[in-house]
Structure 1
Amino acid sequence: MRAGIFLLKTCLLCLLFVQNIYFFYEKSAGTVDDVSPVIVQTFERCLTRDTFPWRTKVKWDGHPCSAISVLVILPNSSLSVLLNLVKTYVNAINSGDLPCLENAVLALAEIENAAAVCDAISCYEERMRQRLNLPTGSVNELLAVHAECEREATGIFMSRAFGDELVKKSQEKLEQELKQKKEEFCRKNEQASFDRCFAVLTDLSQELEVELRMGIYSVPGGYQRYLEKRDEIEKKYHLVPEKGIQADKALEEFLKSKQTVANSLLQMDHALTDKEKEIEAQRAQAEAAQLQQKLLEQEQARLKQMVEDEKRSHDEQLQLLKEKMEKEKKLMEEETEKMIRHKLKEQEELLKEGFQQRANEMEDEIQRLKEENNNSNAALILSAIEKGAAAVSSIAAQLLQYKMFSSALNQQKSESAPQSVGSTPRSKNPLLQNGSQTDK
């Protein structure tokens, strides 16, 4: 693999030199016989002249560099990138155009980074499906698997992507898509849990449904027997393992579906006194209120876990981006230093030969390179600060939502205090009433 990449880079360098020869030939307007000895005599000087495309300065991610330095920053692990680059460059030469390595690399960088995002998402989905056994017992279990798969997917992306600005855009896209995939797996987990729980409840209540059709509970005392049977089903349901995170919600929906039958039996059961009816109704409503409170507490805990996971994900993404930027920054600084040293050497030679004006121009160009190098470092730092500020804003919004749920939970606890037997307990919390309507 390394030998193939080295060969491809060598081919590209040869193509660049051929381009120089073509350029020099057109400028000299001579014959082939005239050009051949000149090429032999001036080969070494061609490598340093600014008028040749070999040393043409281009902009790569906003930083000045030569055509050769663009080859240096290509990812050594991506053989397909170099193959496509050679193909693009050769096609440009065959068509009679003067090839532009910068445009070719930029186009390939966009394609490669988009492919890197797709590979990372595919890796994430595949490994989540392999490692997750839906429904999970808790949200933490799903988030732990998500964190592992997210790190592996991000590593795959980072190993393939290249180019500062393009990498940042692609990484932001990857982060959003990973977040959407995580939410999709959370929804699948909830749905799988709800479906399993409802299937268990349906199976446990088959005997009850048969007895209702037979009219066993349509007699005096039948309401109490019905409640006992329903409580028995509920106890068996709690003993069933691996129900997932929607166990309580599925039970609430099941009990709501049976409430109409219970009310009908209560009206038919004339053996119960008014006091007993009131106590039973109060007990049923109190149980419903307790179940709703438990659901709210679970939602509060889930939201807190999601906020913490969101913060962890942002921190990891920022750290990876920082490391990537540091590597690119170091590479660009090394390339700039090489160019400055070369310019200084050429300036010294010009001074020795007596070209004072050209030496002064060379000094100005060296100072400009140093200033551009400093400006590029400041731009990288500003970009990292902006991304960090966006992450903090997102986490702050999640924390605000978490505090709203906490306030609603405290209000629910204060309103669920024991009431007198003669009163009918009702939940006055608008948040809980809205949640109940949403569940329906």
Structure 2
Amino acid sequence: MDAPVLPMPAPLCLVNNKDGALSLDPAALAVLQGVAEPLVVVAIAGPYRTGKSFLMNRLAQKRTGFPLGPTVQAQTKGIWMWCLPHPRRPGVTLVLLDTEGLGDPNKGDSHNDAWIFTLALLLSSTLVYNSIGTIDQKALEHLELVTRLSELIRVRDGDKDSSDSTEKEDEAEDTEFTRFFPGFVWVVRDFTLELRVGERPISEDEYLEQALQLKHGHGRKVQNYNGTRLCLRNYFPTRKCFVLPPPLATEEHGSLEELPEAALAPRFLQQAARFCDYVLGSTWPKVLPDGGAVTGRALCTLLCSYVEAINSGRLPCLEGAAAAMMAKENAAAVTAALEAYARGMRGLSLPTESAQLSASHGEHLREALAVFQRRSFRDRDQEYQRRLMEQVSTEYSRLQEENEAASQRRCRALLAELARPLDTNLARGTYAQPGGYHAYEAERQQLLEGYQEAEGKGPKAEEVLDEFLAGRRAEAEAVLKADNALSEAEKQLEDQKQQAQLLEQQQKATAERERQLEALLADERSSYEQNLQALEAKMQAEAASTQRELQRVLDAKLREHSELLQRGFGERAALMEQELAALRREMNNSSKQELAANACDAVRAACDLASVVRLTRALRGTAV
């Protein structure tokens, strides 16, 4: 099993933003690499000096952690990370990402704002946007970065520039972004207005939706007005809003972390608690568009890919980064699974009986497949699982050869030890006298009985004994011929007994090889059955995850479609209907493809097993 992440007492800088270049901190990457669990990743962004770090510390259930400052100078540069056990979900790690403030005048490079914001968005499963005052046109202008996302990232290699795209292609891009983008939570700080529309009280979520309402028309002003609103509505699968009153009832100064809870306004604390409860309770682990849960190792690989692309002047490619990450993780999954198998098999003391080796192989193959399934991502062509099975088969064959060699050494050494009295008497000429053959034969039978009673001989016991007896055939004949006390008839009878014994031992050796071939066939059959069962279970789980993710996107688009119709945006709703139809087709095709893949794998496994049967029969014929 992978070790859980070590306790992380304080945040670390994950992404450095210095002199217009992004770099990754090795210490923070090492922590992230060590997290083998699924991640809930919560990132926060927003204008500088708006209290983002305070909210992140509350999510961490700590008074201090991310730096808070009482001055107008921004405290956070780049992206800071804090990994903690999730307080509500066992086996899940909570990753908090605090980003430097947008619009810091001391930074002087708004382009870096865009990349920091983009990284926070791509890494998170929930993105919190923190602002001051109200959600008005000015607040939305701070979020104009959202409208530039299509210029900063591309879903797949070969996607053309958004400036050349049609409105229909823009709608398709919206769907693609929705699959990769997190849920969106807007926190409005120092909010002092009443939540009302006319005389009707409204909720915080209704307040956000009112602020994101679109204007009718096609002019430039309307397009500018609608731009950020459309992106927020179309890109993010879920939207949530919280409004927090000023934290202090008076003009008391000082850092919020330095003030006692009693000094903070009760309504502020209540709203902050509601925010934390929602984020911790509603944010699910980060997944890929096909539903695969992202671990710390996987997120680390994605981050490195994104930053490398940004620093080299290329646009981060979402599908390309995901594919590279999956290939790396699947290769690592094969290595980890093979190590688990080899580690388990190393516990055997050789030589051992074939049945024990076979049982251990089955047990540790199951363990290896479990390790692989736990760590691997979408292995669509089963390339990596086949690679694992081939390597396990190779390792098992090597162990069988080692076991056979150890068995031969053990049995030959045992026979040499048991034959020592016989060899001593032969050297002394003890049997070269009348009645010597019966004495020789009694000594040899005692040797055979001692050999049969000995334990731990392994799979070559009968074969080595056959070899031993055949090697002693001339010796026995010489002793028999030299015994003048026996008549010729008696000598012929004893010679026939020797031949019968040799034939019987040959048959035992052949039967032993037969049993081993049968066991090999059974092992192969069991291996393929285990492989097929693991494969089917994995594919069914992945199919369910894919369906859940597609349903999540479909639900978001259905909500948006309904609202467009209610607000009179029939033309845009009609474009979205095509998008919805495409999503439904994809859900249907995805389900059918998974079933077809299962069927194909069953046929492939059956064909492979048939090959094993033919091979085993051929080997059996050779052995006989």
Offset of residue 203 of structure 1? 1.0
Residue 319 of structure 1: CA displacement?
2.0
1:78 to 271, 291, 295: 295
Question: Is contact 1:50-1:56 (8 Å) kept?
Answer: no
Deviation at 1:256, TM superposition (A): 1.4
Structure 1 stretches lacking a partner, 5+ long:
22-36, 409-429, 433-440
Give the aligned partner of residue 50 of structure 2. Answer: none
Paired with 1:403 and 1:16, the residues of 2 have a C-alpha distance of: 64
- Counterpart CA distance in 2 for 1:9 and 1:233 is 75
1:322-401 to 2 correspondences below 5 Å: 322-351=536-565, 356-399=570-613
- In 1, the alpha carbon distance for the partners of 2:533 and 2:451 equals 46
Task: Supply the AA of the counterpart residue of 2:551.
Answer: E
Matches within 5 A, 1:183-332: 183-269=397-483, 271-332=485-546
Structure 1 position 197, deviation (Å): 1.4
What secondary structure is seen at the aligned counterpart in 2 of 1:97?
coil
**Alignment-mate amino acid for residue 133 of structure 1:** S
1:384-404, Cα deviation, whole Å (9 max, x unpaired): 112212222333344556678
CA contact (8 A) 1:20 1:54 kept: no
1:153 Cα offset (Å):
1.8
CA distance, structure 2, for counterparts of residue 226 and residue 182 of structure 1: 43
Give the deviation of 1:278 after TM superposition.
2.1
Aligned to 2:318: 101
Higher RCO (Cα < 8 Å, 6 or more apart): 1
Query: Would the alpha carbon gap of residues 129 and 431 (structure 1) be closer, same or farther in structure 2, given more than 3 Å must change?
Result: closer
Q: Which residue is 1:413 aligned to?
A: none
SS of aligned partner of 1:154: helix
Q: Evaluate the alpha carbon distance shift between residue 405 and residue 328 of structure 1 in structure 2; reply closer, same or farther with a 3 A threshold.
A: closer
Q: Output the CA distance in 2 between the equivalents of 1:348 and 1:20.
A: 30
Q: Does 2:332 correspond to 1:115?
A: yes
- 1:157 is matched by which residue type in structure 2? F
Aligned match of 1:133 in 349, 365, 375?
349
Q: Is the 8 A contact 2:354 2:458 kept in 1?
A: no
Number of matched pairs: 387
CA contact (8 A) 1:20 1:53 kept: no
CA contact (8 A) 2:431 2:479 kept: yes
Matched residues, percent identical?
31
Residue in 1 that maps onto 2:373: 158
| Rounded Cα–Cα distance in structure 2 between residues aligned with 1:383 and 1:286 | 57
Verify the 8 A CA contact 1:67 1:102 in the aligned structure 2.
no
Equivalents in 2 of 1:86, 1:431: separation in Å? 57
C-alpha separation in 2, matches of 1:153 and 1:145 = 12
Q: Per residue, is there more helix in 1 or in 2?
A: 1
Instruction: Tell me the TM-score normalized by structure 2.
Output: 0.55
> What displacement does 1:308 show?
2.9
Report if the CA contact (8 A) 1:127-1:149 is conserved.
Answer: yes
Contact 1:54 1:68 in 2 (8 A): no
Q: Helix, strand or coil: the match of 1:72?
A: coil
TM-score, L = length of structure 1: 0.75
Change in CA separation of 1:327 and 1:42 when aligned onto 2, cut-off 3 Å: farther
Q: State how far apart, in whole Å, the 2-side matches of 1:215 and 1:86 are.
A: 83
- Choose which of 67, 70, 88 in structure 1 pairs with 2:180: 67
Deviations 1:48-95 (A, max 9, x none): x99566794799xxx978333895138657323212321221121122
| CA pair 375-392 structure 1, distance change in 2 beyond 3 A | same
Aligned twin of 2:140: 40
AA in 2 matched with 1:141: Q
Question: 2: CA distance between counterparts of 1:215 and 1:291?
Answer: 28
> How far apart, CA to CA, are the structure 1 residues paired with 2:120 and 2:357?
58
Report deviation, 1:267: 4.1
* CA deviation map 1:265-322 (0-9, x unaligned): 3444455433223222221111122122222333333333333333332222222222
SS at match of 1:165: coil
Q: After superposition, what is the alpha-carbon deviation per residue over 1:337-376, rounded to whole angstroms, capped at 9, x for unaligned?
A: 2322333344445545655444333222221221122222
Distance 1:75 1:331 in 2: 7
**323-332 vs 195-204, which moves further:** 323-332
Check conservation: 1:300, 1:405, Cα contact below 8 A.
no
Which 5+ residue runs of structure 2 have no aligned equivalent?
Answer: 6-38, 40-81, 84-92, 100-113, 122-136, 159-174, 183-284
Whole-Å Cα distance in 2 between the matches of residues 237 and 329 of structure 1? 57
Is the CA contact (8 Å cut-off) linking 1:113 and 1:161 kept in structure 2? yes
Write the distance in 2 (CA, Å) between the matches of 1:89 and 1:405. 54
Q: CA deviation at 1:187?
A: 2.2
Change (3 A) 1:120 1:318: same
Please give the alpha-carbon distance, in whole angstroms, between the structure 1 residues aligned to 2:116 and 2:378.
21
- 1:158 Cα shift? 1.6
Aligned residues of 1:124 and 1:152 also touching (Cα < 8 A): yes
C-alpha displacement of 1:207:
2.2
- Contact between 1:300 and 1:402, CA under 8 Å: does it hold in 2? no
Over 3 Å counting, the alpha-carbon distance change for 1:366 and 1:53 in structure 2 is farther
Letter in 2 for 1:314: Y
Other structure's SS at 2:313 match:
coil
Distance 1:343 1:325, change over 3 A: same
CA distance in 1, matches of 2:120, 2:368: 42
- Aligned CA RMSD, in angstroms, stands at 3.7
**Residues 217, 225 of structure 1: 8 Å contact kept:** yes
Counterpart-to-counterpart distance in 2, 1:90 and 1:206: 73
Q: Deviations over 1:110-147 (max 9, x none)?
A: 111111111111121112112x12222x3222222222
Question: Which letter does structure 2 place at the counterpart of 1:104?
Answer: A
Matching residue's letter, 2:307? V
Residues 398 and 286 (structure 1), Cα distance of their counterparts in 2 relative to 1, 3 Å cut: farther
Q: Retained in 2: the 8 A contact 1:248–1:291?
A: yes
Q: Contact (CA 8 Å) 1:54, 1:67: kept in 2 or not? A: no
Deviation of 1:162 after TM superposition, in Å, equals 0.9
* Other-structure match for 2:249: none
Q: Distance in 2 between matches of 1:380 and 1:133?
A: 43
Amino acid aligned to 1:364: Q
Instruction: Establish whether residue 87 from structure 1 lines up as the match of residue 301 from structure 2.
Output: no
